[in-house]
Amino acid sequence: MSRRHLIRTICIALGSFVLGSCGSGSLTIFGGGGGGGGGSPTVVSDVLVGADATDAKTSPVTFTFRLTDADSNVVDVDVLYTPPGGGAPVPVLLTGNTNLDDLATSPAGVVHTRQWDFAAQLASAGAFAPGYRLTVRTRNLSSSADSAVFAVGNDAPVVSGVVVPPGETSGIVPISFTLADSSSDLVSVTVEYQDLDNPTGWQPATSAGGPLANETTTPSGVALFFFWDAPSDIPQTEFRAVLRFTPDDGTATGASVQSSTFTVDNNTLPAVLVNGSAFYATPDQRRGLPLPIRIIDPEGDTVRVVVDPSATATSWIVHVPPTSVATRTVESTSS
| Position 75 confidence tier, pLDDT thresholds 50, 70, 90 | very high
Q: Mind listing the pLDDT tens digit for each residue in 135-149?
A: 999 999 999 999 999
CB 186 within 8 A of CB 249: yes
| pLDDT value, residue 52 | 75
Candidates 177, 82, 206; CA nearest to 137 is 82
Dihedral of CA atoms 14, 17, 18, 22 in degrees, nearest 10, equals: 170
Alpha carbons 79 and 89: distance in angstroms, whole number: 9
Q: For the segment 132-181, what is each residue's pLDDT rounded down to a tens digit?
A: 999 999 999 999 999 999 999 999 999 999 999 998 998 999 999 999 99
**CB of 63 within 8 A of CB of 147?**
yes
The four Cα atoms 192, 198, 200, 202 give a dihedral, to 10 degrees, of 10
What letter does residue 217 receive in the DSSP assignment?
-
Mean pLDDT of the chain: 81
CATH code, residues 43-152: 2.60.40.2060
Distance CA 287, CA 268 (A): 36
- Report the alpha-carbon distance of residue 249 to residue 232 in Å, rounded: 28
Please give the helix or strand (H or E) that residue 241 lies within, else none: strand 238-248
Q: Three-class SS string for 152-214?
A: ECCCCCEEEEEECCCCEECCEEEEEEEEECCCCCCEEEEEEEEECCCCCCCEECCECCCCCCC
User: Would the pTM count as exceeding 0.85?
Assistant: no
Entry field: residues in the chain: 335
Class of domain 158-265: mainly beta
Q: What is the pLDDT of residues 270-294, one digit of tens each?
A: 666 666 565 555 555 555 556 676 7
